[in-house]
Structure 1
Amino acid sequence: MNLDFSQLVPYIPFILEGIWATLKLAGISIIIGFILGTLLALCKITKLPLLKGFADAYTSMFRGTPLILQLMIIYFAIPQLTGYDISAFLSAVLAFGLNSAAYVSEIIRAGILAVDRGQTEAAEALGVPYKQMMINIILPQALKNILPALMNEFITLTKESAIVSVISYMDLMRRAQIVGSELYRNFEPLLFAGLIYWVMVFILTQIGRLIERRLRHSD
């Protein structure tokens, strides 16, 4: 086999810098997805047909089209339509955040519906306003149940973030591709990047399991 990892050694620090770029993208995207997803979830359980219809249409659109298509529309089409030259990082954050919101909204909606109906009925009987009931009673219980699922969404985002290399965002994958083009050897840098992704996902998975165990013991 024609393999020579010694040539990769000088480029290792350059590739490792992509870890922060990858985690930053995934972290900001999940925050955007969580905030927007919470609002969408509340719209889905409301009795207002207009809000419910909007939330359902949003989820259907972003879950029904490829993430890479959404990314390229934001990166290439927005400058064409508005004349605003959007950066690769902002495009990636918007695409991943908006896409994640569609999935997070379903997770949160399921978490809210899983809360005992008696909690809502008791709050209504006591005259607790809907907004206060959601913030102080329903959502805290729902979030406790869905934290493992949210952690899984973060792990998924971390892996899927590799597609931002197509718009030249300097993440882990893009840096591995650059090294491969300079060395005229792609297997070694890509294999190294794959190992780093695996380590990141492994660590995040262990963190998720730890959170899940703590939540289970706190019941």
Structure 2
Amino acid sequence: MWHNIARRALHSIRELRYPGAVKYWEKRYADGGDSGPGSVGRLAAYKAETVNRFVREHNIFDVIDFGCGDGKQLLLADYPAYTGLDISASAVAQCRELFREDTTKRFEVYRPEKFEPAPYQADMALSMEAIFHLTETHLYNRYMQHLFATARKWVLIFSSDTDDPPGGPFPHFRSRCFSSDVPQGWELRKRLDNPHGDISISSFFFYEKRAF
């Protein structure tokens, strides 16, 4: 009996410290927080330059972004058409306000348990420093399925690719070896190491859908 009480108490303490990815990010944005240092400054400029160049060189028209955050990174983007998804309704509301006069962009709340990829097909699916914030395995698994299921041709990922156990000093961060979970039918065309390693441990991974 006392063991069960202690276990429930420990769970409650952990829940207060970190309530899970969806609740954490919703509260963070609702309270006026932002996406973090990776969406501003020289790292944001590097990411934008890399993705914008890729979009131009491969004649990509529409992009779907799984994890648009507060939209600051998007201010540097140059895509003909864009759909931004985020698990935080507050982040989506901020983006809609920020880009309210831009008809080339739309934003929607991403609900992994209800998401249907078919209406969201795009030339390229994008994931920039979002994978390691999906701390729950069931959310991560659905996210990876949806990310690749919406892309007609390309998937670009900017993330770490190592497996770290949960429970570290930053509960909203869990690095994963996502390359082991890429669906069949996709080929890694290029890995581009990040020159700003003092800010982020992420690298770019460029996946192309194989022609059958």
| TM-score, L = length of structure 2 | 0.31
| Larger RCO (CA within 8 A; separation ≥ 6) | 1
| TM-score, L = length of structure 1 | 0.30
Higher strand proportion, which one?
2
